[in-house]
Structure 1
Amino acid sequence: MEFQFKYITPDIKLSCNEGEEFKMELVFDCHMLVWSISGETKIMQADQTYIFKKGDIFLIPRNQLATIINYPTNGVPHKLVIMHLTTDRLRNFYINLNIKSKPSSVQKIRCYNNHPLLESCIASLIPYFDLRETFPENIASLKITEAISILRNIDKDIDNILANFAKPHKIDLTTFMEKNFMFNLPMEKFGYLTGRSLTTFKRDFRKAFNTPPQRWLTKKRLQLAHYQIAEKKRKPVEVYLEIGFENLSHFSYAFKKQFGYSPTELTK
């Protein structure tokens, strides 16, 4: 699998995948503005799935759980330009604007299709990825500021996302885990997103579910896989990535250990 990043600054990069589909399960520490150059990007959150293709532009808010699968299509590599909108940069941008954001508990991915202003801003970065000399920081800063300004111009609600600098607060653990169990993340990250330290997360989890987190997560993921294969008639190869497993063989082994038969036998 040929997968690589090219950086012109730490906050602006080109993602290129020339091999097979590539899966990532992430919680971004900063907002990500993304332009799809080629290929297909599938993003799955707890309550919605997005498909992005060539020309699409979208913003992934920070601290949001997402499974991302990149697909090269028709022999064409999967390519994205990604711009990080960091908290420090956004604080500096908003410091003199006197904006009061209205924080929302749900921050969904924002889709801008192929908006000409955003596309022009991000496309102007492409020639810099092939330069050998260092990309000037002042130009990078100007391009990111331009992108933020365009977002504010075309999206009247974007300040509620970009100007919200609050950290995750302590939330109901049961509701969160029942909604997000399919994301294969470290326990520390689950704890952070529910407003807890790792120790407190494990303690509260055992109190809520009467079992260790990893055992509960594996069982829930396998139950979802069983439903998808038996009721939705999906193939195991279509399911395992989406429900939190890293490879098909491990998924098949765990499935058979749980149910007494393999996922392939279930399809028959």
Structure 2
Amino acid sequence: MTPDKVSTSSTGIVYSCYHNISREGEHFVPEQTLSYLAAGSLVLNDGKKAYNAAAGSLRFIKRNQLLKFVKHPPEKQEFQSLSIYLDQETLKEFSKEYGITAAEKQSQQSIFDIKPTPLIKSYLHSLLEYQQVNGFTNPALTKLKQKEALLLILEVQPDLKNILFDFAEPYKIDLESFMQKNYHFNVRLERFAYLTGRSLATFKRDFQKIFGTSPRHWLQQKRLDQARYLIQEKGQTASNIYLDLGFENLSHFSYAFKNVFGVSPTELSPAIRGK
């Protein structure tokens, strides 16, 4: 069995392949993205809703959002997916070339299903064939395939132009509400600052005024408090929740938990305390 792998190509089209369930990945989506699932199943979660996808599905994922995912390979087979990243430079070039612009305020929805028409299916299969032969190593060809994707999806869902060609950056939003909703995403403070429409310095200053402490201290305490609730009241185990709460590894989570509460997550478990 070959090891799990992810294409390391720096181009706008990336092929991923896994043999094992994967919960790892970038939780910040910086570019407009088309996600095609060739084999396996995928669960995406934007903090408000879970989106389940089966093999053969195609989705459009809006940029500048926080997202978690779980990839499930088929039994004794590989999970396979293609991600087509539509960067701002490519989209601006396309907008100018074809005279397509955003006409109205974009939807607040994060993820959109796209019906895979015969032409779209043919396009996606061609990308898989490129991967098998040579990968996505030719920048000029990759740019053409990105534009081809845009033409195909705008034909079936023209309203996506209001998202694709909206080039505005995040504006200043309510910091307390945003952090209460997104504290469990494991991203850098710079990401939180950007998504709330602030510089890092302004983010830290506003955070201190609202919460009375630093972002790092508040994030760890908030995550640990939720962990204690899930373990003590809901019977969850540390291994099942540490990633969902924004911790990078189990050992760091267990150390931080015991340092704050004086007991390990295992010792706090109802099953252990009941013995």
Normalised by the size of structure 1, how large is the TM-score? 0.89
Match of 2:192 in 1: 190
Q: Distance in 2 between matches of 1:12 and 1:164?
A: 21
Match of 2:34 in 1: 33
Whether 1:120 and 2:122 are equivalent positions in the alignment is: yes
Whether 1:63 and 2:61 are equivalent positions in the alignment is: no
- Identical positions, percent: 36
Q: Distance in 1 between matches of 2:262 and 2:218?
A: 18
Match of 1:239 in 2: 241
1:105-136 CA distance string (max 9 Å, x none): 73411123655443321121111113349755
Q: Distance in 2 between matches of 1:68 and 1:134?
A: 24
- Report the Cα offset of residue 257 of structure 1: 2.8
- Report the Cα offset of residue 231 of structure 1: 4.1
Match of 1:103 in 2: 105
Match of 1:78 in 2: 79
- Report the Cα offset of residue 244 of structure 1: 0.4
Match of 1:160 in 2: 162
| Structure 1: 5+ residue stretches without partners | none
Q: Measured at CA, do residues 250 and 6 of structure 1 come closer, stay the same or move farther in structure 2, by a change above 3 Å? A: closer
Q: Measured at CA, do residues 57 and 205 of structure 1 come closer, stay the same or move farther in structure 2, by a change above 3 Å? A: same
Give the AA of the match of 1:64: Q
1:214-263 CA distance string (max 9 Å, x none): 11001111222233334444333221111101112222222233333333
Instruction: Please say which of residues 197-206 and 227-236 is displaced more in the overlay.
Output: 227-236
Paired positions, count: 267
| Structure 2: 5+ residue stretches without partners | none
Normalised by the size of structure 2, how large is the TM-score? 0.87
Give the AA of the match of 1:253: Y
Task: Say which SS state the counterpart of residue 71 (structure 2) adopts.
Answer: strand
Q: Distance in 2 between matches of 1:249 and 1:135?
A: 39
- Report the Cα offset of residue 13 of structure 1: 1.6
Give the AA of the match of 2:151: S
1:25-72 CA distance string (max 9 Å, x none): 422221111111123322221211222232121111110111223333
Q: Measured at CA, do residues 16 and 267 of structure 1 come closer, stay the same or move farther in structure 2, by a change above 3 Å? A: farther
1:131 to 125, 130, 133: 133
Q: Measured at CA, do residues 211 and 151 of structure 1 come closer, stay the same or move farther in structure 2, by a change above 3 Å? A: same
Map 1:212-251 to 2 at 5 A.
212-251=214-253
Instruction: Please say which of residues 47-56 and 225-234 is displaced more in the overlay.
Output: 225-234
Contact 2:21–2:70 under 8 Å retained in 1: no
Contact 1:55–1:113 under 8 Å retained in 2: no
- Report the Cα offset of residue 18 of structure 1: 2.8
Instruction: Please say which of residues 102-111 and 27-36 is displaced more in the overlay.
Output: 102-111
Q: Distance in 1 between matches of 2:134 and 2:25?
A: 29
Task: Say which SS state the counterpart of residue 68 (structure 1) adopts.
Answer: strand
Give the AA of the match of 2:182: N
Q: Distance in 2 between matches of 1:37 and 1:194?
A: 34
Match of 1:53 in 2: 54
